[in-house]
Amino acid sequence: MVKVRMAAPVLQQNDEVARENRELFREKGLFVLNLMSSPGSGKTSILERTIEKLAGRLKLGVIEGDIYTTRDAERIEKFGIPVVQINTAGSCHLDARMVQPALDDFVLDELDLLIVENVGNLVCPAEFDLGEDAAAAVLSVAEGNDKPVKYPLVFRESSVVLINKIDLLPYTDCDIGLLQEDLKKINPQLELFQVSARLDEGFDPWIAWLEQQVKAKKKRPS
């Protein structure tokens, strides 16, 4: 009789490592955010504005997830904050096992906030827990009004949606009222922020939200 060993399902294995990551973040009192969107919605651009605004207020580290290249990490490195690039070499998302070794490259005790920019993809990243405290999704107004209803998981899993590129509204058929209604139907708890990373507009409520989350995490008893 041939002995068969059933491999633990991929998502189950991922969840075990995600739990270890989450436990480490709890020990360190570190707030960790998973930033997700389709390619080109403006995750890195929003990160750049966010880093500028948090300078001197919070100590921020960044993990960049991309299939190939170190381009996003190079953009972040210019701000002089700790950044690590993970290349997934084909995979459309980060998982907890990719993030775990990257954490060794930071001095976590010296950070208040760690933002993980996931691979540009509106579907796969939302399926993999990294051990983060919260997820934020970026949706640009140029992507079409139907994206929340067609790709609901990422919006269900997120605490925040940054509706980006509002400077382009006059050139699109986006109905921003309807877009926000659809997002709230999918997840009534969502915080919605309208921003333009290009024009550096609308960032104050987002920055206040981040600072509030960091403060709450630090206070949580260990």
Ligand X SMILES: Nc1nc2c(ncn2[C@@H]2O[C@H](COP(=O)(O)OP(=O)(O)OP(=O)(O)O)[C@@H](O)[C@H]2O)c(=O)[nH]1
> Which of 38, 44, 196, 213 is in the footprint of Mg ion by CB under 5 A?
44
Q: Which residue is nearest to ligand X (CB)?
A: 120
- Listed residue (153, 144, 154, 199) closest to 175, CA to CA: 144
Count residues near Mg ion (CB under 5 A).
Answer: 3
Intra-chain end-to-end CA distance of the chain, in Å: 50
CB 197 within 8 A of CB 141: no
Residues that bind ligand X (CB under 6 A): 37, 39-45, 72, 120, 164-165, 167-168, 196-198
**Pair of tokens at residue 169:** 């509204």
Question: Residue 40 touches which of Mg ion, ligand X, none (CB < 5 to 8 A by kind)?
Answer: ligand X
**Pair of tokens at residue 201:** 């507009």
Question: Residue 133 touches which of ligand X, Mg ion, none (CB < 5 to 8 A by kind)?
Answer: none
Question: Rounded to the nearest 5°, which phi and psi values hold at 170?
Answer: -65, -20
Residue 35 vs 160, nearer CB to Mg ion:
35
38 is an interface residue for Mg ion by CB under 5 A: no
Question: Rounded to the nearest 5°, which phi and psi values hold at 163?
Answer: -85, 105
Task: Tell the smallest beta-carbon distance from residue 220 to Mg ion (Å).
Answer: 30
48 is an interface residue for Mg ion by CB under 5 A: no
72 is an interface residue for Mg ion by CB under 5 A: yes
State the CB neighbour count (10 A cutoff) for residue 83.
25
Binding site for Mg ion (CB under 5 A): 43-44, 72
